């Protein structure tokens, strides 16, 4: 190892590790410790109960639906911001950050009011037979709202950095716009796009504030995993809460591994492009 010229390694590393241990690792270890004390048969009972399974199913399905929506909308939004000049572009760019900056409880409240029976959007939708508030569709909309920026902000810089040379080469070889889009542009942005989508999906799985207002929270129908954990706590059923929270933590870990490997792929892809 190279001799360190810059001082302060011990102090900085010590501070960082100590803080992470106290603020992040200690609580997460305590949760896993609690869950490990439950006993396997009881753990299986808790996790295989119809209500838990239904909550997991609703959460995963609706997170997937929200991610599909954001894949399309986010990609178009990133494309418009990276490729077009139009009045209000800066405003639109700022609006992308609204879901990050706006508290989830505020977002939940606003979306519920918008999509409720007598709301701005709820009334016309109800009239054509599509109720949104207090249905699984409402959950998907709340999840989509909170995770839009992930797709946009991951894909946007990659589209901006696309060199026009490959595109022009394709065109001079006689490729149509669609062919260039499919064979040249999409492969180049795909790793970033996938990374953004998996970030959005991961965020949707754990979302609480935005969802519980609009979901209606009916057990077996519109109850999400995060809410079920919360309810178990309020019932003083700490084992139940620990078991379900551990499942959520594991889902987060799996998504973290997936996202990191996709991002590593994305970085390798970028590095290859620079050769």
Decide if residue 192 touches another protein (CB under 8 A). Answer: no
Stretch of 43-51, 123-131, 178-186, 214-222 lying at the interface with another protein (CB under 8 A): 178-186
Decide if residue 58 touches another protein (CB under 8 A). Answer: no
Decide if residue 267 touches another protein (CB under 8 A). Answer: no
Give 111 or 194: the residue with its C-beta nearer to another protein.
111
DSSP H helices in the chain: 9-20, 26-36, 40-47, 50-83, 89-95, 98-101, 104-115, 122-127, 136-161, 164-172, 177-180, 186-206, 209-215, 225-234, 238-274
Decide if residue 181 touches another protein (CB under 8 A). Answer: yes
**Burial level of 63, CB count in 10 A (0-12/13-18/19+)?**
buried
Q: How far apart are CA 100 and CA 144, in angstroms?
A: 12
Hey, CA dihedral for 256, 261, 262, 267, is it positive or negative? Answer: positive
User: CB 272 → another protein: shortest distance, Å?
Assistant: 20
Site string for another protein, 210-249 (x = CB under 8 A): ---x------------x--xx--x----x--xx--x--xx
Stretch of 43-51, 144-152, 215-223, 265-273 lying at the interface with another protein (CB under 8 A): 144-152
Decide if residue 270 touches another protein (CB under 8 A). Answer: no
Decide if residue 13 touches another protein (CB under 8 A). Answer: yes
Q: How far apart are CA 137 and CA 143, in angstroms?
A: 10
Decide if residue 255 touches another protein (CB under 8 A). Answer: yes
């Amino acid at each position: 190892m190279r001799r360190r010229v810059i001082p302060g390694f011990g102090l900085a590393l010590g501070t960082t590790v100590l803080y992470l241990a106290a603020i992040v690792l200690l609580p997460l270890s305590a949760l896993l410790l609690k869950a490990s004390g439950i006993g396997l048969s009881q753990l299986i009972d808790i996790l295989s109960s119809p209500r838990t399974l239904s909550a997991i199913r609703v959460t995963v399905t609706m997170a997937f639906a929200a991610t599909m929506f954001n894949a399309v909308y986010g990609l178009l939004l990133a494309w418009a911001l990276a490729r077009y000049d139009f009045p209000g572009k800066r405003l639109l760019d700022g609006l992308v950050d609204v879901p990050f900056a706006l508290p989830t409880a505020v977002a939940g409240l606003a979306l519920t009011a918008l999509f409720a029976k007598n709301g701005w959007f709820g009334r016309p939708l109800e009239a054509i037979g599509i109720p949104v508030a207090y249905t699984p569709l409402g959950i998907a909309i709340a999840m989509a709202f909170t995770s839009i920026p992930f797709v946009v902000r991951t894909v946007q810089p990659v589209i901006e950095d696309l060199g026009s040379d490959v595109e022009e080469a394709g065109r001079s070889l006689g490729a149509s716009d669609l062919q260039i889009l499919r064979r040249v542009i999409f492969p180049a942005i795909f790793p970033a796009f996938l990374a953004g989508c998996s970030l959005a999906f991961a965020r949707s799985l754990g979302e609480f504030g935005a969802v519980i207002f609009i979901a209606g929270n009916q057990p077996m129908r519109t109850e999400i995993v995060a809410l079920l954990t919360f309810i178990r706590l309020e019932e003083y059923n700490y084992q139940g809460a620990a078991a379900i929270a551990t499942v959520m933590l594991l889902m987060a870990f799996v998504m973290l591994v997936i996202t990191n490997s996709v991002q590593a792929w994305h970085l390798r892809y970028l590095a290859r492009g620079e050769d």
